[in-house]
Copies of this chain bind each other. A is one copy, B any other.
Amino acid sequence: MTADAPPSVDSVTEQTFIARVLGADRSALEAKGTAGLRSELMRVLREAVRMGRLAPGVRLPSSRSLAADLGLARNTVADAYAELVAEGWFIARQGSGTRVAQRAELPRAESRRATGLAPLRTVRPRPAHNLMPGLPDLSTFPRADWLKSSRRALAAAPNDALGYGDPRGRVELRTALADYLARARRVYTHPEHIVICAGFTQALKLVGEVLRRRQAREVAVESYGLDVHWRLLADAGLHMPCLPVDGSGARTGNLAGMRGVGAVLLTPAHQFPTGALLHPDRRAAAVDWARSTGGLILEDDYDGEFRYDRHPVGALQGIDPERVVHLGTTSKSLAPGLRLGWMVLPESLVTEVVETKGISDWSASALEQLTLAEFIESGAYDRHVRSMRLRYRRRRDQLVAVLAERAPEVRVSGVPAGLHAMLELPKGGEALALRAAAWQGLALEGFSRFRHPDEAPGRDALVIGYGAPTDSAWAGALEALCRVLTQMP
């Protein structure tokens, strides 16, 4: 869209390079006398990397052709490349020429300038194969249907929908969600108990703040989960004792013995990352605990629509709407980029949450909310979920079948659901597999990465996200995974 946007291709042709990368600096370059040329070229190239005009992993033109194009001696360019390789800006690989290094490899001296960029996702290198858990297949986003819904929603929107909104979010969306969640997830609620958020993280942050105001000190969490969620709760000043997780989900029976716990964060439909379904007895135990102690259950229903062997098990919220905060988003069903999520609240919590949210009022875009409402009402959401369910189910079946054939010692655990599966490995296998995966350029996660600090090291396993790749990339990713697993001793 703009001249400054990083080239999307993975190599830069000389012309692009001159136009996009050097840009105005070219003249500065040409102004220099021969002496300063090399260092000036280096400065320009460093700046191009810093400014993102040269994205990590991009291949640079050969020193010969760039030199010809800039009217410099080839050695000047070759030396500049060499020094930047030495400094860690570029990488020279046999056969693949000179490439821009990953930011992580920036030399210490540069780290201050670089820190603004280093932690950001967008500048991460693209792996050759992506099996990271937690991502849907973004290529399947129903752009045409979504645009149609935007058009309808925008045409129907009253003017004041464009004003400062109700902190709960648009009533049209809350109404559509109340219907949908009742239908799809057996959630029992009505629109005025739903609050729209910018994704799950905002919802959890809000609940954390409310719990803190209610003098809660601790929120129990599952012994395996996402550290970003734990950090959010910690930021709210909460401690997080953990419940052991096994094949039947979290041991919610332990809650009875925990003092000072005001809430418990669970993934009942599909424990992340083990993939376990919370056992009926443990659902009951959680609800009994909540009722007897006045505690809250935070139900993270992140991929509840995706069950492949049966109709999805109804949400825990349906059992006791007054004790369960049901949290969902469109991040797995549509796209995380929409930043749309919802909290289904016990009536007793609505006012506090709305007031807490109302202060900062960082609600989602009204137009996006109206678009999603229309998207759901029109049936497009159900259609999309159905087709994604088939797609992901196919992938999971292929994963299971291929592994059974080529890596029979690897066990796929967890219920057939969601966008990820856990592969249990022989003792010591996880570290080996991760190293092998790195060599294959295959991005995936190890089970231990999700372990709660208080939990003792457990099984060796991999967490495979089969949602992430596009259909065309899926076969290659699966093949890479097999190579990783078969290469292991």
Contacts and interface: CB of A to CB of B under 8 A. Distances in A.
Given A1-B172, A138-B159, A121 B359 contact: no
A190 interface: yes
Pick the most buried of A2, A202, A361: most chain B CB atoms within 10 A of its CB: A2
Chain A contact-residue range equals: 35 or more
A2 to B, nearest CB: 4
Contact of A147 (B154, B163, B228): B154
Contacts of A139: 159
Contacts of A364: 198, 339, 364-365
Nearest to A345: B116
Interface string A357-380: 011111111111010011001000
A325 B193 CA distance: 37
Contacts of A179: 2, 4
Contacts of A6: 171
A358 B155 CA distance: 34
Pick the most buried of A158, A197, A361: most chain B CB atoms within 10 A of its CB: A361
Interface stretch (A84-92, A301-309, A346-354): A346-354
B135 A360 contact: no
Contacts of A119: 351, 354-355, 358
Interface in A160-193: 160-168, 171-172, 175-176, 178-179, 190-193
Contacts of A193: 116
Interface in A317-368: 331, 335-340, 347, 350-351, 354-355, 358-368
Given A366-B339, A368-B368, A172 B135 contact: no
Number of copies: 2
B158 A8 contact: yes
A190 B48 CA distance: 11
A109 interface: no
Contacts of A143: 154-155
Contact of A366 (B116, B168, B337): B337
B368 A365 contact: yes
Contacts of A339: 165, 362-366
Contacts of A338: 162, 365-367
Given A51-B192, A52-B191, A193-B116, A340 B365 contact: yes
A122 interface: yes
Interface of A, helix, strand, loop or mixed by DSSP: helix
A425 interface: no
A366 B339 CA distance: 8
Given A6-B171, A143-B155, A366-B337, A359 B52 contact: no
Q: Please name the 4 residue pairs, one residue from A and one from B, whose CB atoms are nearest each other, closest first.
A: A337-B366, A162-B335, A116-B350, A162-B337
Interface of A: 1-2, 4-6, 8, 50-52, 113, 115-117, 119-122, 135, 138-139, 141, 143, 146-147, 150-151, 153-156, 158-168, 171-172, 175-176, 178-179, 190-193, 197-199, 201-202, 205, 228, 231-232, 235, 331, 335-340, 347, 350-351, 354-355, 358-368, 370, 373-374, 377, 470
Given A51-B192, A117-B192, 19 more contacts: A1-B172, A1-B373, A1-B377, A2-B179, A5-B171, A8-B158, A50-B190, A120-B167, A120-B354, A121-B166, A138-B159, A141-B159, A147-B151, A162-B336, A162-B337, A163-B335, A201-B362, A205-B362, A339-B365
6 contacts: A1-B153, A1-B175, A52-B171, A52-B192, A141-B159, A338-B365
